[in-house]
Amino acid sequence: MKVISTEYSQILAARIAREGGWDLVDVKFSRFPDGEHYLRTGVVDDEVVVVGSVVDSDSLVQLLLLIDACSGSSPVLLLPYMGYARQDKQFYPGEPLSARAVARALSSGVCRVFTVNIHDPGVLRHFTVPVENLSLAPEIGAYLGRSGYDDPLILAPDDGAVSFASMVAAAGNWDCDHLEKTRISGEEVRIEPKHLCADGRAVVIVDDIISTGSTLATAAGLLSAQGAKTVAAACVHGVFAGGAYARLIASGVEDVAASDTIEQACSVYSAATTVVSGIRGC
């Protein structure tokens, strides 16, 4: 097996190759004078895993080119973070279903797809090849166990994250609860307390994505007002749009941790082990 990645997922790809005992392929990336992407691989008429998170439009184009370069071997595609997946409904006539457009484009030339904690599993139906969604909840649970939190309260910021938070909490048999969130706009959410008692507790808010950080910041403020001893956060995909990471730390969130599905300095747990098991099991 060979592992090959875009520039955006090279650290995760190297970890997957090491974990699986597979070869990591060197790729040369450059641009044409007009700014268009170019790449060249040494590849490959072998079994291949193509790894590439879609974190913006450039990363999508680079991933499409890489898949095309490998398409002769009908690779497996690992899509650690699928950008554009949150436009998964047509709210107004004339809008695209962006998740569908991206899923269809990325299905072309690959034999199957793995995603990681996709925001809405309903998006998976838009792929035109077999697809499996992997979960990093056990990895996050293991990380929290190593981090020495004292009997933490694991909290989902909304209904949608409840089963994810329960899986994280199961790692240490910790208490688990959730808040109720209403999204007012792209940058603003309202959060109301559920039946938890955060007073004096080390609270860890867990979520699939931290994007603008507004969900987390609003929840953290509420929990501090309720007497939480500390508030920390752990997510799968650390997008941190518009300076969200710094804003969260500045507002008193003790620690903000993410996985390497998006490669960030705070990527302190890896998707590699979960991915290798997923690929071996298929």
**Residue 83: CB minimum distance to ligand R5P, A:** 12
94: left (phi over 0), alpha (psi -120 to 50) or beta: left
Helix axes 272-280, 137-146, angle to 10 degrees: 140
List of residues 6+ apart from 212 with CB closer than 8 A: 186, 187, 241, 242, 244
Q: What angle do CA 21, 271, 228 make, to 5 degrees?
A: 150
Instruction: Return the ∠ at Cα 228 (arms to 164 and 196), rounded to 5°.
Output: 55
Q: Which of residues 143-162 bind ligand R5P (CB under 6 A)?
A: 157-158, 160-161
Map residue 169 onto helix, strand or coil: helix
- 211 near ligand R5P (CB under 6 A): yes
Instruction: For the CB of residue 170, give the shortest distance to ligand R5P in the complex, in Å.
Output: 19
Least separation in angstroms between CB 13 and ligand R5P: 25
Rg (CA), the chain: 19
Applying CB under 6 A, does 209 fall inside the site for ligand R5P?
yes
Q: Which is nearer to ligand R5P, 18 or 190 (CB)?
A: 190
Of 50 and 161, which has the nearer Cβ to ligand R5P? 161
- Candidate residues 212, 259, 261, 274; the one interacting with ligand R5P per rule CB under 6 A: 212
| 209 three-state secondary structure | strand
213 near ligand R5P (CB under 6 A): yes
A 10 A CB-CB count for 142 gives: 16
SS3 91: coil
Could you tell me the end-to-end alpha-carbon distance of the chain, in angstroms, rounded to an integer?
14
Between residues 213 and 278, which has the closer beta carbon with respect to ligand R5P?
A: 213
Token pair 């909290």 is found at 155
Q: Exactly one of 139, 177, 207, 260 binds ligand R5P (CB under 6 A); which one?
A: 207
Judged by CB under 6 A, the number of residues near ligand R5P is 15
Least distance between ligand R5P and beta carbon 88 (Å)? 11
Under the binding rule (CB under 6 A), the answer on residue 62 touching ligand R5P is: no
Q: Does 118 bind ligand R5P (CB under 6 A)?
A: no
Q: 157 and 219 in contact (C-beta within 8 Å)?
A: yes
CB of 217 vs ligand R5P, minimal distance in Å: 8
Determine which residue in the list 6, 60, 149, 208 makes contact with ligand R5P, applying CB under 6 A: 208
As beta bridge partners, residue 113 has 77, 131
Between 75 and 238, whose beta carbon lies closer to ligand R5P?
238
Known active-site residue 181: yes
Q: How far is the CB of 213 from ligand R5P (least distance, A)?
A: 5
Q: Which residues contact 96 (CB under 8 A, 6 or more apart)?
A: 87, 90
Cβ pair 80, 12 in contact under 8 A: yes
Is residue 2 within 8 A of residue 48, CB to CB? The reply is yes
Q: In the window 214-243, what residues touch ligand R5P (CB under 6 A)?
A: 214-216
Identity of the residue, 3 or 216, whose beta carbon is nearer to ligand R5P in the bound complex: 216
User: Residue 76 or residue 161: which is nearer to ligand R5P going by CB?
Assistant: 161
**Which residues are tagged catalytic?**
181
Binding residues vs ligand R5P (CB under 6 A) = 157-158, 160-161, 189, 207-216
